[in-house]
Structure 1
Amino acid sequence: MADIDMEKEVYKNDDSNARSTSGNIEVVPSSMTYSPDLLNLGLGGMEISQHKSNSGQTSLTLVNSSLPTFATVLCSIEFPDRQKPSCYPPPNPTDSFQTPPNTVNTVNIVTRKHIQTMASFPEASNLNAWKALQEHYNSTGRNITLKDEFKKDDLRFQKFSHTFVNTADKSEILFDFSKNLITEESITLLIQLAKEAGVEKLRDQMFNGEPINFTEDRAVYHVALRNVSNQEMRVKGKSVVEEVNSVLNHMKEFSEQVRSGEWKGYTGKKINTIINVGIGGSDLGPVMVTEALKPYSDRNLTLHFVSNIDGTHAAEALRDSDPETTLFLIASKTFTTAETITNANTAKAWFLQKAKDTAHIAKHFVALSTNEAEVTKFGIDKKNMFGFESWVGGRYSVWSAIGLSIALSIGFDNFHEFLAGAHAMDKHFRETPLEKNIPIIGGLLSVWYSDFFGSQTHLVSPFDQYLHRFPAYLQQLSMESNGKAVTRTGDYVRYSTGPIVFGEPATNAQHSFYQLLHQGTKLIPTDFILAAQSHNPIEGGKHQTMLASNFFAQAEALMIGKTPEQVRAEGALGNLVPHKTFLGNRPTTSILAQKITPGTLGALIAYYEHVTFTEGAVWNINSFDQWGVELGKVLAKKIEKELETEGEGGGHDGSTSGLIAAYKKKASLLREVEKLTCRLTIERK
């Protein structure tokens, strides 16, 4: 083994070094060139060895021998003209990554960062169950062939499928996990991993209102927002039930006034346009839910959502709106979010161009916020504030006052059913044994693929056009929650965390990226979602039948593939056989609902929330903060000032400085053109 000077960060292989042979493997004590560690931190305990087989194949092995002081390894391996695998960190500390000779391997070492920690939860890869899973993967998991598993076990579908009974709408949702790369032993070991990782303990702490978001000292209590059974729920000893119900009653009263026409604009006209101004969780959830539940909406109400600071977003929403009949929902907990307040002020200026009197703002603007001082300063009557507590995270806020646009769209009774569906899934998640706990199984499968199969992505593809924004919603839920590299004890993880979540509704997606699923080099675990009953059974249900057939066919095709022999039997020319061959054995989870009702949608969202929770609990990370969004915002404020002043600014890297200078030049030219156009127009007049 070759010891790295841990105050440096760049390692290069050099095949010219002397080699010592051990059996059939040559260990190459490679030379190293260094660049200063950007963090300038002393490190120790990482060893790197390079191995060369008799066939000439080179591999790099990373070994952590000093866990108490070492954090993790980040490595990138350059592959000319080939797929480039990456590791952050390697799924297993002793995994080897194959590299061709004469390439540069960069290994970045980062130290343990001491922050506020949450003790008593263990590092996942130190758990006995994790080690047992690694052995199981090596001996069995990576050799599973799904076709063969179904042939060997006629009851495989029954063993690995679970039905969720939704008390909210008296429906059932079938979750079929049988097409995943698992055996009964896999599930047993994954359940043991959940137990050893303390998933049940953390779950109970969440439902008890304890501050499991320890970096912000907050409870994670979105489950209290949908507590339709009015169970006692407390934060720091104080009941939250009455407060939650008070906000819900306010939402009910207001939404019914607007929908009935009782609430009128400043000229006495009925409201017919709702514009929700918010960003992140204040936008993604309401957009997704109002689209998904459009069959239940009041089609006499037009909804717009403005989130982007790009002026185009606001301009398009305002273009065809009438100030006399438009209601704005300003969704910002602090009422200081830069993008939201900028867009809100633009909306107010647009409104006052016609309304003139600021007193009229009270009839056309409401606030989904807790900052009374800023809300009233804006001109909104404090009676039209809909608040929510600090224990409501942005990406979990769709159940709170942030969901007012949903209640306005579909009516409060349907909104209540939406909450009830989520509450039913909460009850299942909290009370069902782990072996039959649907979100627990879903979350553990994600860990299984991320950390043992090396999968980096997860696809969610709903076979329902109304769910076209569902994958985008899940992106924030999953990636903002589990895109973390630091454990609850402040150490950098030694395994892969949060997968990249993406998706599009089928069958559109079949004609864009499903090619990658079937014949690409990446393992992409996939969730397919279908409702058996369509809201629009046109042509005698023909469209729905075609949609359903594709739902079943895609999952089956990904599993069984197509062998060269089958391709030849179809008469394909010899040179086309490999191109028409499908390897198969691609894992999928099929989720079959009865119909996309408010209750069903609520349950589906809660399912994915608890999947995300389970992942984070196993990975021992805090799934409920989002410090990663802050740095860019801080830098943007500084750069914004530079863009408004003359000169080049300073303190940036060469690329950023060059881009800013180019932008200023182009913007300056545009302003000159606008001035010239204005002058010519005046002269013509």
Structure 2
Amino acid sequence: MTALTQSPAWQNLAALAEKIKTQHMRDMFAADPQRANKYTQAACGIELDFSKNLITDEVMSALQSLTTDCQVAEKRDAMFAGEIINQTEQRAVLHTALRNFSGKPVMVDGEDVMPEVLACQRKIEDFVAKVHSAELTGYTGKPLKEIVAIGIGGSFLGPKIMSEALKPYWFKGVKVHYVANVDGCHIQDVLASVDHEETLVVMSSKSFGTQETLQNTLTAKAWFLKAGGKQEDIAKHFIAVSSNIKAATEFGMAEDNIFPMWDWVGGRYSLWSAIGLPVALTIGYDNYRALLQGAFEMDEHFQTAPAEQNLPMILATLGVWYINFFGAQSHVLLPYYHYLRGFPAYVQQLDMESNGKRVSGDKTVTDYETGPVIWGSEGTNGQHSFHQLIHQGTVLIPADFMLPLNVPNQDDTHHAMLASNCFGQTQALMQGKTFDECSADLASKGLSDDELESLATHKTMPGNKPSNTFLFDKLDPKTLGSLIALYEHKVFVQGAIWGVNSFDQWGVELGKELGNQVLDKLVNTDAELNFDTSTNQLIAKFRQANS
């Protein structure tokens, strides 16, 4: 056993879990009329109702004790202070510095990084203003109305999903298209829909060598030149977010139009850096700054709120409770708001890339589960498909429901129906429907005793399925920033409890490395195939099909 699973806090939680498994949330609500109020907390415009969880005051106290034993607060403070907490890569972790509005310095290796951060924000603000005012134009003098944002992973998911979520705030003078997939169909479809004279390509790659991103950018360059542009016109139509200034300028980009990246910002946390430039181009700089402000306010809440009121702490420890003591293997996110439909995919990368690890900081292979599978879909669509498994399946799947109380261009009938489904699903998951209740409903159907018993058995739902409900007045940029930061900090807390490094991604790196090796064999068709027999066979078939 590891030190974590041998700890008194862990053993206490294991005992409490066995006790809770004999109880039902129906009875918990019946016994405590104040339960909903007691287990609801709010911060930064977000209200979290976590009363529909398999918890008691004793359980919540024990979970807080676990965070104390695992020194979560100390690890949190070390992150915000710029200490090297990404030990495998010897880096600080400072995405929080990118939205730091406190006026306080943030030190890395003895230097305050805030002057650079603020300079980058001013550069973004200036660039967005020039594009939106048409001060910046293409080589023929036409305004840059079409933005093609090329990235992969966090450089793509963050800007794309957050732009979608904030559609009511879009600036009407530009349209942003996001490209990530190296499948040529994607980039070709996008380029076919835009005029090269009005197109600005934003390439996001720290190294300027990310395989998919570079290839898509080269394809865009070839398209631009074929359409009539010249090499000297590249500078007016292509910009980069990259640390490799030399490669970007050799490509043809103007050095003034290269935005910085820093080693202390991981890809899945890079939305707050110049990687967010396409978001600022989509919604305007003031709205983009509000996004940052919301995240900053959640940072402040995370650092200062006591554990029992701290939204990231509550959310994280509830997740640990189900993963490690109830055998939950996945967690579902259910936004009841169409524009937030991409949010589960964003959190999927954030969580699974961060905590999908099996080795703790002391090089010990864990004897406990770590990161869950994150998945989800917008409500109400999922109710007509996978909700069946959550209600009556054999695995426990905790759920996060999200609903804005007000939406743009609100149709009261539509919104009431949406809210009723959201609240009704959480109620159904919690209380279920007993065999006796099902039998009573069927009593007037004229069924035989055997038919009634059989059908009532199939219709019975055990309930006792946990869920959280997030409410916010509306999903404006500031609230969205807070929501994203909330999940970032939840992931951090869980990683701190499990003792894993939430900020490296060696599994991702291995996939890139082997992909490059295979690509070499696909391009150099005379090269000897020296992989396993399955991979060799697949490469040989591809070569034959493309010879």
The question of a shared fold, defined as TM-score above 0.5 by the shorter chain, is answered with yes
Computed over aligned residues only, the root mean square deviation of the Cα atoms, in angstroms, reads 1.2
- 8 A contact 1:276–1:405 mirrored in 2: yes
Offset from partner CA, 1:517-551 (integer Å, 9 cap, x none): 1111110000000000011313xx11111000011
Q: Who is 2:507 aligned against?
A: 628
Give, as a single letter, the amino acid of the residue that structure 2 aligns with 1:548: A
Offset from partner CA, 1:584-607 (integer Å, 9 cap, x none): 110000000110000000000000
* Bigger Rg, which one: 1
Q: State the distance in 2 between where 1:269 and 1:645 align.
A: 42
Q: Who is 1:131 aligned against?
A: 11
Deviation, 1:230, is 2.1
Would you say 1:532 and 2:411 are equivalent positions?
no
Give, as a single letter, the amino acid of the residue that structure 2 aligns with 1:621: V
Q: State the distance in 2 between where 1:282 and 1:512 align.
A: 31
Secondary structure of the corresponding residue to residue 528 of structure 1: strand
Offset from partner CA, 1:350-370 (integer Å, 9 cap, x none): 111123421111111111111
Deviation, 1:648, is 8.3
Comparing 460-469 and 353-362, the one that deviates more: 353-362
Deviation, 1:657, is 2.3
- 8 A contact 2:302–2:312 mirrored in 1: yes
The size of the alignment, in residue pairs, is: 539
Unaligned residue ranges in structure 2 (runs of 5+): 446-450
1:263-278 to structure 2, matched below 5 A, reads 263-278=136-151
- 8 A contact 2:335–2:402 mirrored in 1: yes
Q: Who is 1:591 aligned against?
A: 470
Q: State the distance in 2 between where 1:494 and 1:513 align.
A: 30
Q: Who is 2:484 aligned against?
A: 605
Q: Who is 1:671 aligned against?
A: none
Give, as a single letter, the amino acid of the residue that structure 2 aligns with 1:390: D
Secondary structure of the corresponding residue to residue 163 of structure 2: helix
Q: Who is 2:240 aligned against?
A: 367
Q: Who is 1:379 aligned against?
A: 252
Secondary structure of the corresponding residue to residue 267 of structure 1: coil
1:290-439 to structure 2, matched below 5 A, reads 290-439=163-312
Secondary structure of the corresponding residue to residue 179 of structure 1: coil
Q: Who is 1:480 aligned against?
A: 353
Q: State the distance in 2 between where 1:404 and 1:437 align.
A: 31
Deviation, 1:632, is 1.9
Q: Residue 542 of structure 1: which of 407, 410, 413 is its match?
A: 413
Offset from partner CA, 1:431-467 (integer Å, 9 cap, x none): 1111211100100111111000010000001000001
- 8 A contact 1:224–1:241 mirrored in 2: yes
Q: State the distance in 2 between where 1:389 and 1:659 align.
A: 38
Deviation, 1:421, is 0.4
Distance 1:381 1:647, change over 3 A: closer
Secondary structure of the corresponding residue to residue 662 of structure 1: helix
Deviation, 1:137, is 1.4
Q: Who is 1:257 aligned against?
A: 130
Q: Which has the higher helix share?
A: 2
Q: State the distance in 2 between where 1:649 and 1:178 align.
A: 61
- 8 A contact 1:648–1:661 mirrored in 2: no
Would you say 1:232 and 2:105 are equivalent positions?
yes
Q: Who is 1:566 aligned against?
A: 437
Deviation, 1:299, is 3.1
Secondary structure of the corresponding residue to residue 157 of structure 2: helix
Q: State the distance in 2 between where 1:395 and 1:143 align.
A: 40
Q: Who is 1:159 aligned against?
A: 38
Would you say 1:498 and 2:374 are equivalent positions?
no
Would you say 1:220 and 2:93 are equivalent positions?
yes
Would you say 1:184 and 2:57 are equivalent positions?
yes
Q: State the distance in 2 between where 1:421 and 1:645 align.
A: 50
- 8 A contact 1:368–1:402 mirrored in 2: yes
Deviation, 1:569, is 1.2
Q: State the distance in 1 between where 2:231 and 2:10 align.
A: 62
Q: State the distance in 2 between where 1:212 and 1:355 align.
A: 50
Give, as a single letter, the amino acid of the residue that structure 2 aligns with 1:569: A
Comparing 527-536 and 141-150, the one that deviates more: 141-150
Where relative contact order (Cα < 8 A, 6+ residues apart) is larger, the structure is: 2
Displaced runs of 4+ in structure 1, greater than 3 A?
645-649
Secondary structure of the corresponding residue to residue 334 of structure 1: coil
Q: Who is 2:455 aligned against?
A: 576
Q: State the distance in 2 between where 1:297 and 1:370 align.
A: 29
Q: State the distance in 2 between where 1:535 and 1:451 align.
A: 40
Q: State the distance in 2 between where 1:275 and 1:441 align.
A: 39
Q: Who is 1:641 aligned against?
A: 520
Secondary structure of the corresponding residue to residue 61 of structure 2: helix
Offset from partner CA, 1:168-192 (integer Å, 9 cap, x none): xxxx321011101111000000000
Give, as a single letter, the amino acid of the residue that structure 1 aligns with 2:458: H
Give, as a single letter, the amino acid of the residue that structure 2 aligns with 1:549: S
Secondary structure of the corresponding residue to residue 367 of structure 1: strand
Q: State the distance in 1 between where 2:160 and 2:496 align.
A: 29
Q: State the distance in 2 between where 1:432 and 1:517 align.
A: 33
1:657-668 to structure 2, matched below 5 A, reads 657-668=536-547
Q: State the distance in 2 between where 1:412 and 1:348 align.
A: 27
Secondary structure of the corresponding residue to residue 259 of structure 2: coil
Give, as a single letter, the amino acid of the residue that structure 2 aligns with 1:141: I
Q: Which has the higher strand share?
A: 1
Q: Who is 1:113 aligned against?
A: none
- 8 A contact 2:204–2:240 mirrored in 1: yes
Q: Who is 1:288 aligned against?
A: 161
Would you say 1:195 and 2:68 are equivalent positions?
yes
Percent of paired sites with the same residue: 46
Deviation, 1:334, is 1.2
Q: State the distance in 1 between where 2:427 and 2:545 align.
A: 53
Deviation, 1:125, is 1.5
Q: Who is 2:448 aligned against?
A: none
Q: Who is 1:3 aligned against?
A: none
Q: State the distance in 2 between where 1:201 and 1:141 align.
A: 30
Q: State the distance in 1 between where 2:101 and 2:476 align.
A: 17
Offset from partner CA, 1:271-321 (integer Å, 9 cap, x none): 110000100010000001100001000233221111111111111110111
Offset from partner CA, 1:459-480 (integer Å, 9 cap, x none): 0010000011100000000000
Secondary structure of the corresponding residue to residue 282 of structure 1: helix
Q: State the distance in 2 between where 1:537 and 1:451 align.
A: 41
Q: State the distance in 1 between where 2:406 and 2:233 align.
A: 45
- 8 A contact 2:132–2:173 mirrored in 1: no
Deviation, 1:581, is 1.1
Unaligned residue ranges in structure 1 (runs of 5+): 1-63, 68-122, 167-171, 669-685
- 8 A contact 1:127–1:197 mirrored in 2: no
Give, as a single letter, the amino acid of the residue that structure 2 aligns with 1:576: L
Give, as a single letter, the amino acid of the residue that structure 2 aligns with 1:131: Q
Q: State the distance in 2 between where 1:250 and 1:276 align.
A: 18
- 8 A contact 2:429–2:466 mirrored in 1: yes
Distance 1:324 1:490, change over 3 A: same
Deviation, 1:664, is 2.6
Deviation, 1:141, is 2.3
Give, as a single letter, the amino acid of the residue that structure 2 aligns with 1:637: N
Give, as a single letter, the amino acid of the residue that structure 1 aligns with 2:391: H
- 8 A contact 1:648–1:660 mirrored in 2: no
- 8 A contact 2:399–2:467 mirrored in 1: yes
